[in-house]
Structure 1
Amino acid sequence: MEITGNKSIREKHVAVFAFPFTSHPRLLLTLVHRLAAAAPTVVFSFFCSKKFNQLLFAEQSCNNILPYDVSDGLPEDHTHALSLEERVNMFLAVAEDELRRGVGVAETDIGLRINCLVTDAFFWFCGDTAKAMNIPWVAVFNGSPYALSTHLYTDLIREKLTTPQLIGSATLNDEITVDFVPGLKAVPIGDIPNGVVLGNLESPVATMLHKMGRALPTATAVSVNSFEELDADLTKSLSSKLNNFLNIGPFNLISKEKTSVKFDEYSCISWLDNQKTRAVAYICFGTAFILPPHEIVELATALEETKTPFLWSINKDSYKHFPEGFLDRTSGNGTGKVVAWAPQDEVLNHVAIGVFVTQGGWNSVLEGVGAGVAMICRPNFADNLINSWMVARVWEIGVRIHGKFTKDATRGALEQVLSQRYEKIEALKDLAEKAVQPNGSSDKNFKALIEVITTGHLA
């Protein structure tokens, strides 16, 4: 590999190992770009699958961030479509060996011994790798701190909830709440991430998360995309459990450019410019969740019957599931716009947006908070459920669709959110903005993270 930049000024070498699925690589690289800008004498070797490296490094490059491809574990001759779970399982089978191989390649290429491991927190084995190399391990958790807490206390949760019909069961019982985890508000058992106490506890993903929860207390530092003021009790609890627990977000507020939108292929912003203030529903379910066809119909029907203006970002393969004539009718009368991609952060911060319809992924929730936009959450998997619980029942900054979209439930949710002002989200927005300002809590934590990565400890 050709090494660019001024090699003579490189003093430290950090290996970064990304989890090559959904939004994980992009979020980790966003953090690494911030680290690289703050520590110009450090070179970062970024390990991810070839697919993501080609995509991410085509968009932006940096002299002291170098991409290295690792195997995704898929056999070269595979022909049939694989589910996300199948692909994750295949990658996990080779991940540890791929990291060790990549470390050797990068050290030879760059001519510097690796001084620190910065990895997706999912890679529990990196604690042992870092210990064997006698270097710090910095774990980056890309989900919500609420989900993180459940993984750290999985053994406690399983010990307390030992009823045979609960453990491993797919049957959810909302009358049972988890109210004994330090720092965590009472949460229905059905909203605890799958694999902690419900579902297949022996699956590779559940096993990975369980091992992660046990390993993270050995990490030199654990960072999350959040801010301390969102939940002081939870921050205190996690800080007591983890070494150097660092809230360093919200990322979207830190990376936001105050200039015009650089890329808006479908002219979303100009369309929003012609809409009424706080009247539009922005709909997007992230990169990993494809809304089932019947739910597309129910959601579309509710939008049309309530005459709610909407901007809907959805993959083109799903267009065929819209009700007959829906696209022509709504685009023709100016009430709706359907696109294959939207500049989400800029859209959410537009004055026309009145509600964000989301799956409740952590990064989407933080973007909604950062924009001061109330939410309608239709959770799907992973931390979506506990995040949606927080949005609707704890922070009271939106509502939640229980189960699937139906026309009536969607109509009620739209009417409720668009007809009232959610003052609490404005308060959270203000706290988030203060956290990322100079000398704010997240700014101070980021400087602490730089200290750990460059020196191996806090001053």
Structure 2
Amino acid sequence: MSKPHIIAVPFPAQGHVMPLMEFSQCLAHQDFKVTFVNTEHIHKQVMNALADESHIRNDHIHLVSIPDGLEPGEGRNGPAMLFEATQAVMHKNLEELIEKINKGEDERISCLIADDSCGWALEVARKMKIARVVAFWPSAAATLVLNLSIPKLIHEGIINNDGTVLKYQMVQLGPKMPTIKSTNFVWACTGNSSTQKILFQFMEGTNKNVKLVDRLVCNSAYELEPAAFALEPQILPIGPLLASRRLGNSAGSLWPPDSTCLKWLDEQPPCSVIYVAFGSTTIFYQTQFQELALALELSNRPFLWVVRPDICDNPLYPEGYQDRLGSRGLMVSWAPQQKVLAHPSIACFISHCGWNSTMEGISNGIPFLCWPYFADQFIDESYICDVWKVGLRFDKNESGIITRGEIKNKVEKLLDDEDFRARALKLKEMAMTNVNEGGQSNKIFKSFIEWIKS
């Protein structure tokens, strides 16, 4: 009998590709065949980053690509351009791919799993009468609850019909939910009104997408967000999705990781290293970049700092910086983050609070210093600081800068208080219990497998 064949479609961005790839690898371990569909641009980056792609091939995962509708030179960093392009052309390209696959003997697609942001892919699945259609939500359940609350926010006069914030206030969608400033709503913190409108339409679209699917799965755990899951019980938690759970390597990174940093970590004392990483899209102005560099120097602690080549227009370190640091600080362009956070030398994580980073940090019992940039990162910061109490937020000065003094003080405050580490270790235990045999995420995953096979 042929294996059930799943087609997986992520939204074309790092924070979406990696968790769906991890989910696909979990499915491949259950003897499913998976065709993983990236855009051509993302596919090329993933293949370049995979020095050894055998662990993908052996897992019955077939990596394929379709065009995203943008020209090679067009910028893909802006969410607005990506949303418009993917909506315009990718549905037709996906249809053609599915038709081609379905012509093969014993190859027919029996299930489509698409990022909930890819409504066009879910519509294709319905149009082509694919038997099982699943939306995958890679972020916190609370972020999806916010999207689903848009009609209520409009009704209460907090936002208008295009997402513009009318009332500047703290919003809590339910008891024990994260509290967030209305100006920090996912679509409202872009600083650009046309991008905001496109993002808002996109977020509203996720509400319609939920109605197109048979199942809605989420990279979270019930005990991490009980209030969110109580408000929207159709969201099924199957996380945290981590490569370490499979004793495997994570795949789907868009940059080759510099694994030499693991040897450097081996040489550092336990719980001594500040790990600094801001994900794949955070951009710094030169002034802020230098303040952070000087703060890390002033901390007198060892640090590992991920400095992407595009993190700053021209990332210039303060004069004589690397000479003064010697071997105390290590800068790399990209790191194998799950392995770094699992390393015993890590003391804390200065993070942009993307959901993948948040899940990886809490799953390793690491306290946070929060530096959110945009989108859902402010909700994640509220979980970390206000709900779970495993981290601290930075305060900006009147010029909008997080100063070296503020960074140094918060590092000391976090690391001098044992309670942060103790709470982080409890949260780790809670997260891991969910994915272990008998845990709630584990049970939901097993039931999901049975449903696809039925």
Matching residue within 15, 35, 49 for 1:45: 35
Deviates more, 1:129-138 or 1:112-121: 129-138
The match for 1:442 is: 441
Cα shift at 1:363: 0.7
Cα shift at 1:195: 4.7
Cα shift at 1:43: 2.8
Tell me the alpha carbon deviations over residues 278-331 of structure 1, each in whole angstroms, 9 at most, x when there is no partner: 22110011112233322110111111123132111112455742111112211x
Cα shift at 1:167: 5.2
Secondary structure of 1:94's partner? helix
Q: Tell me if 1:360 matches 2:353.
A: yes
Cα distance in structure 1, aligned partners of 2:189 and 2:411? 32
2:10 touches 2:115 (CA, 8 Å); kept in 1?
Answer: yes
Secondary structure of 2:14's partner? coil
Deviates more, 1:226-235 or 1:155-164: 155-164
Cα shift at 1:36: 1.6
Cα distance in structure 1, aligned partners of 2:34 and 2:164? 41
Letter in 2 for 1:207: Q
The match for 2:387 is: 394
Secondary structure of 1:203's partner? helix
Q: 1:63 to 1:357 in 2, by over 3 A?
A: closer
The match for 1:117 is: 112
Following superposition of structure 1 onto structure 2, how do residues 395-410 of structure 1 map, counting pairs within 5 Å? 395-403=388-396, 404-410=401-407
Q: Tell me if 1:249 matches 2:246.
A: no
Cα distance in structure 1, aligned partners of 2:407 and 2:90? 41
Following superposition of structure 1 onto structure 2, how do residues 415-454 of structure 1 map, counting pairs within 5 Å? 415-421=412-418, 422=420, 423-454=422-453
1:46 touches 1:65 (CA, 8 Å); kept in 2?
Answer: yes
Following superposition of structure 1 onto structure 2, how do residues 89-100 of structure 1 map, counting pairs within 5 Å? 89-100=84-95
Cα distance in structure 2, aligned partners of 1:368 and 1:145? 17
- The CA RMSD measured in Å over matched residues stands at 2.9
2:22 touches 2:243 (CA, 8 Å); kept in 1?
Answer: no
Cα distance in structure 2, aligned partners of 1:401 and 1:303? 14
Q: 1:406 to 1:63 in 2, by over 3 A?
A: closer
Secondary structure of 1:321's partner? coil
Following superposition of structure 1 onto structure 2, how do residues 287-366 of structure 1 map, counting pairs within 5 Å? 287-316=280-309, 320-330=315-325, 332=326, 334-366=327-359
Cα shift at 1:359: 0.3
Gaps of 5+ in 1: 1-8
The match for 1:142 is: 138
Cα distance in structure 2, aligned partners of 1:286 and 1:205? 20
Q: 1:62 to 1:94 in 2, by over 3 A?
A: farther
Secondary structure of 1:324's partner? coil
Gaps of 5+ in 2: 250-255
Matching residue within 180, 200, 205 for 1:211: 205
Deviates more, 1:355-364 or 1:434-443: 434-443
Cα distance in structure 1, aligned partners of 2:220 and 2:161? 35
Tell me the alpha carbon deviations over residues 223-256 of structure 1, each in whole angstroms, 9 at most, x when there is no partner: 11111111222222221xx2xx321111126535
Cα distance in structure 1, aligned partners of 2:403 and 2:9? 41
Matching residue within 8, 22, 25 for 1:30: 22
Cα shift at 1:88: 3.9
2:352 touches 2:377 (CA, 8 Å); kept in 1?
Answer: yes
Deviates more, 1:14-23 or 1:150-159: 14-23
1:280 touches 1:310 (CA, 8 Å); kept in 2?
Answer: yes
The match for 2:275 is: 282
Letter in 2 for 1:236: A
Letter in 1 for 2:383: M
Cα distance in structure 1, aligned partners of 2:258 and 2:231? 44
List structure 1 segments (4+ residues) > 6 angstroms apart after TM superposition.
163-166
Cα distance in structure 2, aligned partners of 1:112 and 1:342? 37
Cα distance in structure 2, aligned partners of 1:299 and 1:130? 47
The match for 1:5 is: none
Secondary structure of 2:274's partner? strand
Cα distance in structure 1, aligned partners of 2:140 and 2:59? 31
Secondary structure of 1:14's partner? strand
Cα distance in structure 1, aligned partners of 2:363 and 2:342? 8
Deviates more, 1:196-205 or 1:362-371: 196-205
Q: Tell me if 1:236 matches 2:230.
A: yes
Letter in 1 for 2:156: K
Secondary structure of 1:116's partner? strand
Matching residue within 153, 156, 177 for 1:184: 177
Cα distance in structure 1, aligned partners of 2:148 and 2:426? 29
Letter in 2 for 1:233: A
The match for 1:20 is: 12
Secondary structure of 2:271's partner? coil
Q: 1:326 to 1:150 in 2, by over 3 A?
A: same
Secondary structure of 2:113's partner? strand
Q: 1:452 to 1:208 in 2, by over 3 A?
A: farther
1:254 touches 1:436 (CA, 8 Å); kept in 2?
Answer: no
Cα distance in structure 1, aligned partners of 2:237 and 2:135? 12
Q: 1:233 to 1:344 in 2, by over 3 A?
A: same
2:15 touches 2:354 (CA, 8 Å); kept in 1?
Answer: no
Percent of aligned pairs sharing the same letter: 25
Q: 1:66 to 1:279 in 2, by over 3 A?
A: closer
Q: 1:162 to 1:338 in 2, by over 3 A?
A: closer
TM-score of the pair, normalised by structure 2: 0.86
1:89 touches 1:205 (CA, 8 Å); kept in 2?
Answer: no
Cα distance in structure 1, aligned partners of 2:248 and 2:158? 52
Cα distance in structure 1, aligned partners of 2:177 and 2:148? 12
Q: 1:341 to 1:67 in 2, by over 3 A?
A: closer
Cα distance in structure 1, aligned partners of 2:158 and 2:167? 15
Cα shift at 1:80: 5.6
Deviates more, 1:385-394 or 1:395-404: 395-404
Cα distance in structure 2, aligned partners of 1:180 and 1:265? 41
